[in-house]
Amino acid sequence: MVATAAASATGARVFTATSSQGLSYMQEGLYFAAGHRLPVVMAVANRSMGPPWTILAGHDDSIAQRDVGWIQVYCSRPQEILDQVIQAYRVAEDHRVLLPIMVCYEGFATSHCYEAVEVPSQEEVDSFLPPYRPLFKLDVEDPLIITRFVEADWWLGFKKLQDEAMEGAKKVIADVDAEYAKRFGRRCGGLLEAYRCEDAEVAMVTMGNLALTARLIVDEFRGRGVKAGLIRLRFFRPFPREELVKALEGVGSICVVERNCSPGGYGGAVFNELRSALYSTGHRPLVINFLAGMGGRDVTPVELREMMAAAVKALERGGVEREVNWVYGVRRA
Amino acid sequence: MRRLSLKELPLEEYYMPGNILCAGCGESLAMRLALKVLGRKTIVVTVPGCASAGLMMGACAVPLLVGPFASGGALAAGVEAGLKAQGRLEGVNVVAFVGDGGTADIGFQSLSSMVERGHDVLYVCLDNEAYMNTGGQRSGTTPLGAATTTTPVGRFLRGKPQHRKNLPLIMMDHGAPYVATASIGYPLDYVNKVLKASRVRGPKYIQVLTPCPVGWGFHESKTVELARLAVDCGIWPLYEVEGGALKITLELKRPKPLEEYLAQQRRFSHLTSVEVEALKASIEREWMELKRRASGGKEARSDV
């Protein structure tokens, strides 16, 4: 990570990829890239952290890095990953943003998934993505001390600038996706993707490839006359508070299904940030959390159906039986 | 290559005065001298330590990047690779100034892989023989018997119980095209080695002895004298390795007594004559290995 970010500091466009333990090993390097405002793009094939050792999927590796100052986007399919990587450079290198980006997707479950992918030509990508123009760089003709030691009065101010850049990135992310759609006829989905949410009373919120199965479950419930919807949160950093609240306006009961956990905490990262976003709006839907799909554990349609049913039941009863639910043990097909 | 004389040393300074490092700092002198001969077209990378504190807070007049403690080699490699990819490496020196802790211990794999991959970088290890920026904890290059805050003299320990790690030879064994030791007590030898290294392609490694008045316990006016004495008494051999051939650059005809060097430093003040003899034996073994390598391996291998 440090070598990649250092190359970026010279003004070069860089890319790297990692996963799981490798991501956690480079944590100090993640701060290094973000603190220098270097637009590094990195693919992260999400795998759960050992011990107990595993090589299989889970978002717990990158969620543990949520505070390092990187933009995090979670993809669901190979085509989306490819498109997102191209878009990521436009977002990261935008002078209003200048933040590194992790393009995340489930290890094996997505990273080793075969799917026909449309690869745009070099010319098409070049016309969408102009050469990187760094705001500053290591240059013997223009000497700069890029890394500063700061007095106590200054440190948090620099962090605030990173936070403001994150906030500003939301518009850039949406604009870049819209322009990409115009050029390539495909979009990634912006900050979040809402499916059948317009009149939804019950919604599932998830990230990554679980959303693909969840769509089928939503269709199934719709078929039974339940006003169900799905939100696939794409960007976790910046966290799309307003967009999420808006998409959940009419929803009375929500189940959050996520591939991360915090032993000793109360529920997963998405559950907590979602509830925090809703708290001040006065709109307080019931929220149930399912911590599932870590260590490569499959989350089957049967289980997703039960999770959605739990949200429906909560709405009917007007209360949640158990807010935080760990889904572990032998899977039920 | 003709050697630079004292008169030919460039007047330009790229390591600025008025920075926060201590009076009598050996590292400051090492960076100042190296940057003088490397010149304006130099990019410096460093990691947290005394060097970075001085450089980051205004001492560095050339481009500077500071990264994680364990990443000296990776930083330099990344800068080199980035410049190379853009066709901007020609005529530019990429230099890493990293302390002995960041080199021998925590940053070792980063340096090792940088050298193994063959990046065109000059890596200068500023060796003050302990983690001085954090108050003087032992490092892999702390000499046998030296008292540090983590090897204090007391009921359980009598200074560092282990021998120092011989980094220059480890770099030689990596096949680095240029490796050298130097001392700020022999500034002309040092700057000429830096200059020579800058003209070699590939990874270059120089380990320069930079006495630390605070950590070693001597008066700040004696830094250069001690750096010179370290060479003269044999505890700090001066040599260079070019294309795999090791050459001792300062032959010691009549080494000064080691005791003279030890007596001036608080960190060795507890040593008994038996312990001094053990240190002498350890230095002697290092010399035997050096001579063996200098002779092209013809002399018998020592047990080091």
Among the partner residues B53, B64, B74, nearest to A2 by beta-carbon distance = B74
Across B105-226, the runs of DSSP E, i.e. the strands, are 122-127, 178-183, 204-209
Reply yes or no on whether the pLDDT at A332 is more than 80: no
Query: With a cut of 0.85, is the ipTM above it?
Result: yes
Q: Identify whether residues A58 and A139 lie together within a single domain.
A: yes
Residue B140 lies in a domain: yes
Reply yes or no on whether the pLDDT at A144 is more than 90: yes
Residue A333 lies in a domain: no
Q: Identify whether residues A222 and A178 lie together within a single domain.
A: no
Element (H, E) at A151: none
pLDDT tens-digit readout, A200-229: 999 999 999 999 999 999 999 999 999 999
Task: Tell me the H-state helices in B133-257.
Answer: 167-173, 187-198, 223-232
CA distance B86 to B84: 5
Q: Which residues contact A61 (CB under 8 A, 6 or more apart)?
A: A19, A20, A21, A23, A24, A44, A46, A47, A48, A49
Domain end, chosen from A138, A162, A184, is at A184
The nearest alpha carbon in chain A to B66 belongs to A147
The whole-number pLDDT of residue B299 equals 63
Across A239-329, the runs of DSSP E, i.e. the strands, are 253-258, 286-291, 324-326
Q: Identify whether residues A92 and A235 lie together within a single domain.
A: no
Residue A63 lies in a domain: yes
A16: distance to nearest CA of chain B, Å?
A: 12
Report pTM. Answer: 0.95
Q: Identify whether residues A7 and A123 lie together within a single domain.
A: yes
Q: Identify whether residues A131 and A177 lie together within a single domain.
A: yes
Q: Which of residues 4-63 of B touch A (CB under 8 A)?
A: 40-43, 45, 52-53, 55-58, 60-63
For residue A285, whether the previous peptide bond is cis, meaning omega lies within 30 degrees of 0, is no
Domain end, chosen from A152, A184, A216, is at A184
The whole-number pLDDT of residue B300 equals 56
The whole-number pLDDT of residue B134 equals 95
Give the confidence band of A318 by pLDDT, cuts at 50, 70, 90.
very high
Indicate which CATH number applies to the domain containing B76. 3.40.50.970
The whole-number pLDDT of residue A233 equals 98
In chain A, what residues touch B110 (CB-CB under 8 Å)? 2
Average pLDDT along chain B, 304 residues, taken 10 residues at a time: 89 92 96 97 96 89 97 98 98 98 97 98 98 96 98 96 97 98 98 97 98 98 98 98 96 96 98 98 97 82 50
Residue B300 lies in a domain: no
The whole-number pLDDT of residue B304 equals 45
Among the partner residues A8, A146, A149, nearest to B82 by beta-carbon distance = A8
Give how many domains chain B has, as a whole number.
1
Indicate which CATH number applies to the domain containing A247. 3.40.50.920
Q: Are A33 and A1 in contact (CB under 8 A)?
A: yes
Residue B4 lies in a domain: no
The whole-number pLDDT of residue B57 equals 86
Q: Identify whether residues A176 and A270 lie together within a single domain.
A: no
Residue A332 lies in a domain: no
Q: Are A194 and A229 in contact (CB under 8 A)?
A: yes
Q: Identify whether residues A148 and A259 lie together within a single domain.
A: no
Residue B302 lies in a domain: no
Indicate which CATH number applies to the domain containing A19. 3.40.50.970
Strand partners, A73: A103, A235
Residue B2 lies in a domain: no
Q: Which domain holds residue A196?
A: 192-326
Q: Which residues contact B235 (CB under 8 A, 6 or more apart)?
A: B143, B258, B261, B283
Paired tokens of A255:
């189940």
Paired tokens of B21:
């490092």
CA distance A311 to A226: 11
Q: Which domain holds residue B170?
A: 10-294
Q: Identify whether residues A138 and A72 lie together within a single domain.
A: yes
- Which of these, B112, B107, B117, B109, lies nearest to B48 by C-alpha position? B107
Distances (CA, A) of A201 to A290, A291, A321: 19, 22, 18
Q: Are B130 and B101 in contact (CB under 8 A)?
A: yes
Q: Identify whether residues A174 and A230 lie together within a single domain.
A: no
Query: Mean of the pLDDT values across residues A315-326?
Result: 97
Task: Tell me the H-state helices in A67-154.
Answer: 78-93, 122-128
Q: Identify whether residues A29 and A112 lie together within a single domain.
A: yes
Strand partners, B208: B126, B182
The whole-number pLDDT of residue B301 equals 55
Q: Which residue has the tokens 């020592």?
A: B302
Q: Identify whether residues A177 and A292 lie together within a single domain.
A: no
Q: Confirm or reject contact between B92 and chain A (CB < 8 A).
A: yes
Element (H, E) at B138: none
Q: Identify whether residues A317 and A225 lie together within a single domain.
A: yes
Q: Which residue has the tokens 């696939």?
A: A232
